[in-house]
Amino acid sequence: MAQNTAANDTTVRVNTEDFEREILITPNGFREYDARWLYPEQLNLRGAQSLGMGLGTLLHELGDGKTSPAIVVGHDYRSYSAAIKLALVTGLMASGCRVKDIGLALSPVAYFAQFELDCPAVAMVTASHNDNGWTGVKMGAARPLTFGPELMEKLKNIVQQRQFKERTGGSYTYVDGIKERYITDLARAKPLKRRLKVVVACGNGTAGAYAPQVLEEIGCEVIPMDCTLDYTFPRYNPNPEDLEMLCSLSTRVRETGADIGFAFDGDGDRCGVVDNTGEEIFADKVGVLLARDLAALYKNPLFVADVKSTGLYNNDPVLKERGATVDYWKTGHSYIKSRVHALEAIAGFEKSGHFFFNEPIGRGYDDGLLSAIMVCRMMDHHAGKTLAQLREELPLTWNSPTMSPFCADDKKYAVVDTVTRYYQAKKSKGEHILGQKIEHLNTINGVRITLADGTWGLVRASSNQPSLVVVVESPSSREKMHAMFAEIDMVLSSFAEVGSYDQKLKAA
């Protein structure tokens, strides 16, 4: 491959000769645990090819040095995804990788194929829930894990500094039938005893090719909603945290008298849930319901939850009674996945909707369809109750959505470090907040301040955008939740680097 251009060259313009000849792959696309670019403004096909060369070079470094790495590749349903994948594939082959192309797929289908085809590595071309115009790659070198910051930084350096190593031994095989094998695998357990009516919303994204069939296979009556694949996303973006998608789903659930509504993101690794009354259940509360169910089946289970998640994982009396313990860990699908794997936890839950189930339920990777199946099986274990009734059995808490005040990428970590030191100093001096002592500070990922009554607030740096992340919750009252937000907002307002919020505080 020619070495005459700079990987961080942002002067290459679309619809020019240079765009065909030069490599365009901007450094800001390499995130903490995956890669995201605007296409074609920040990435061209030669840039995708160079990413493949860099990934192949890294896989050789991580391997045994004797065999050519085998890697599964797939792509989501966008007008440009297949082209980007094939450019990536040429780079992988040039670096000596044995490519197994599974074609159009969900991210969990690509992870499944790693096991099914006995491939240690994966590269899934997907923009997940991002708007059209975005692309990206989720990568891993050891199943079921995906890259974290250390490997992403190594990959970035190889690509940016042109440290590619061309090798022989590369090959390409198109593997047909993985979709059918994946669906068979998910539906392998006994069908549901209870025939649930479920609305399946896919936002015209890739999950529409999988989710309705999977849920029918386990015995659900499926009402499809926006399941026809259409990469223009004519109604709304396939994102289970998006209010437009959830409101449409809620309306459809009420209109049809469905038992549950499921919303899937663009690459199918997340699942949003609406109960039979049309009310959204935040993903961390869905996780608590599933943890209760699993704690009745497995003795003294260990769970992992991300630091944005509800305090109920620690305080729920049912989980305590059943001997469950919970480890709060860093936000991000790669972090939670790695932690679940390292601790051999039965499951991990992330507030964004990434759920991870270990053996004997799953293989440790995030799969939105498996998450939906687990909700259905939980309903099977409570045949006389609706999902709304199960939700109402949880202790009441008042919590905010994830709020994202602007803060530049080169400033946000320093701001969070300063905020962390501020609260550490208050705790060490025994000072009170909202008239209470600081019971605990979790600093594994930003700072989570927990007060004596269980009210807590979190400040951390976003992993994939120029912003901070703020979440607050109180088991005491709505007023305490708002007071905790006011406390954090007062501290953040003292920083000129911190801008306005893109979401308003609300009760949930």
Residues catalogued as catalytic: 128
- Sign, Cα dihedral of 209, 210, 214, 217: positive
Task: Determine the Cα–Cα distance for residues 251 and 266; give it in Å rounded to an integer.
Answer: 21
Report the C-alpha gap between 184 and 265 in whole angstroms.
21
Q: At what angle do helices 283-295 and 368-380 cross, to 10 degrees?
A: 50
Residue 386 to residue 391: CA distance in whole angstroms? 9
Task: Give the three-class secondary structure for 439.
Answer: strand
Alpha-carbon distance of 105 to 138, in angstroms, equals 13
Query: How much helix, strand and coil, in percent to the nearest 5, is found in the chain?
Result: 35, 20, 45
DSSP 8-state symbol, 27: G
Phi-psi region of 353 (alpha: psi -120 to 50; beta: other; left: phi over 0): left
Q: Which structure tokens are listed for 256?
A: 């049809």
SS3 track for 109-174: HHHHHHHHCCCCEEEEECCCCCCCCEEEEEEECCCCCCCCHHHHHHHHHHHHCCCCCCCCCCEEEE
Which of 297-306 are b and which e, b meaning 16 or more Cβ less than 10 Å from the residue's Cβ? ebeebbbbbb
Token readout for 99 is 């490519």
Closest by Cα among 256, 252, 260 to 226: 252
Token pair belonging to 480: 């305490």
